[in-house]
Structure 1
Amino acid sequence: MEVENEQRLMDEIRQGNKDAFRTLVNPLIPKAYRTAYMMLQSKPLAEEAVQNALIELYSTIVSGKEINKLYGWFSRLLAHRTVDIARKEQGYKITVDIDGMEIQDAASTPLESLLRKEQSERLFESIITLELNQRIVVGLYYFQELKIEEIAALLDIKEGTVKSRLYHARRKLSATLQQAQGQAKELTI
């Protein structure tokens, strides 16, 4: 969405147009939900994180605060709300149902689409096996596209700690995915 269009919609929101808010945030919600779900491993908690971020975004817009880069601002806001919930619910676990989740792609054939969906599911299943602190940095870095220094500031940890968690998460993901790939080859033989 263009910056001018975002600013126009925010002005309309300040004037009480609720449809303008819907128009502004609808493109942000699917990615935000997938990211929160990946980090929290719970549909209700992911919904809560996204809802909290949307409420805070709405309040900020209505209060008149100027937001220049909506996507970046909302990504950081969502990251804060997700981390807040993760810290609060650290012991909370729920079974993961990824059957209903679809990661959209631009595959050109049904076979490519099926293969990408299977790869996405394997990657997602691998990510959710990571420890919470690794899942959080992976989500913030790859899904919310935050920089290492932003993640460090958000989590109140050192940049080296963020890099270390990313490194160990990548190694674990690589091993898990290679193992899954090996098992898939055995099944086809």
Structure 2
Amino acid sequence: MKQAERSLEELLVLRAQAGDSRALDQLVRLRGPRLLAHAMRLSGRADDARDIVQEAWIEILRGLHGLREARAFAAWATRIVTRRAARFVKGNVARRALSAAVSVETETSMPDVGEAASDARAVRKAMSSLPPDQAATIALFYLEDMSVAEVAIALDIPRGTVKTRLMHARAKLKDALKGACDE
């Protein structure tokens, strides 16, 4: 997320906390797709991800006035989605395993045509082979442009765990992409 978008998001949070319903609507439109992509990575199914995010928004809206720092909104909201997704997955363990839950097909930041599309497909394929915890960490760090501290808050894990997951995921991606380039 670019600095201008982060600043806009921070302003929208402050205005929403002050009771501006239009700002709240804009905030949902700005952050909503990112939260949905995160839920999709964790749940593996679009319908489940939408349900998770819908429930998360209820919790986000209820807790918004208690958020002390508007700049922490992205990590805070992502953490709520992470916890909602964990509860959802835990409640549906009998139906499917979390290991099948990673999908980065919903990412809109990757091109659809040309040589870049081939590279994007290779990256998506490599990311889909990562364990869910590593895929979520990589996506938040690189695709959502969150810092290590923000990812730690979003996933409710220690910073050291974020760094370890990034290290292992990078190694796996490097090997997977090296294999894709050799073909």
Given the superposition, is the C-alpha separation of residues 52 and 26 from structure 1 closer, same or farther in structure 2, using an over 3 Å criterion?
same
The structure-2 alpha-carbon separation of the partners of 1:121 and 1:76, relative to structure 1 and needing over 3 Å to count, comes to: farther
1:7 maps to a residue whose letter is L
The answer to whether structure 1 residue 65 and structure 2 residue 72 are counterparts is: no
Residues 138 and 166, structure 1, Cα contact 8 Å, conserved in 2: yes
Deviation by residue 1:9-65 (Cα, 9 ceiling, x = unmatched): 44344xxx4x4422222011222222332343322232233223322222223xx43
Shift of 1:73: 1.4
Aligned residues: 169
For 1:30, the equivalent position in structure 2 comes to: 33
Unaligned runs of 5+ in 2: 1-7
Runs of 4 or more above 6 Å deviation: none
Q: Which has the higher helix share?
A: 2
The answer for the alignment partner of 1:42 in structure 2 is 45
Aligned to 1:55: 58
Give me the TM-score of the superposition, normalised by structure 1. 0.67
Deviation at 1:123, TM superposition (A): 1.6
Shift of the 47–175 alpha-carbon distance from structure 1 to 2, 3 Å rule, reads same
Distance in 1 between residues matched to 2:13 and 2:128, nearest whole Å: 34
CA deviation after TM superposition for structure 1 residue 176, in Å: 1.0
Q: CA deviation at 1:8?
A: 3.0
Identity of aligned pairs, percent?
Answer: 23
How much is the aligned-residue C-alpha RMSD, in angstroms?
Answer: 3.4
Whole-angstrom distance in 2 between the partners of 1:86 and 1:149: 20
Q: Which residue of 1 aligns with 2:14?
A: 7
**Higher radius of gyration, 1 or 2:** 1
SS at 2:30's partner residue? coil
What residue identity is the alignment partner of 2:15?
A: R
Structure 1 residue 75 and structure 2 residue 78: aligned?
A: no
- In structure 1, the residue matched to 2:175 is 175
Name the aligned partner's letter for residue 27 of structure 2. L
CA distance in 1, matches of 2:61, 2:51: 15
Say whether 1:135 aligns with 2:161: no
CA offset digits 1:60-89 (Å, max 9, x no partner)? 23xx4355425x313332234225424652
What letter matches 1:40 in structure 2? S
The whole-number CA distance in structure 1 between the counterparts of 2:48 and 2:29 is 19
Structure 1 stretch displaced more, 126-135 or 37-46:
37-46
Unpaired runs of at least 5, structure 1: 184-189
Q: Is residue 40–residue 102 contact of structure 2 (8 Å, CA) maintained in 1? A: no
Q: Give the structure 2 partner of residue 186 of structure 1.
A: none
Partners of 1:49 and 1:78 within 8 A in 2: no
Structure 1 residue 151 displacement after superposition: 4.1
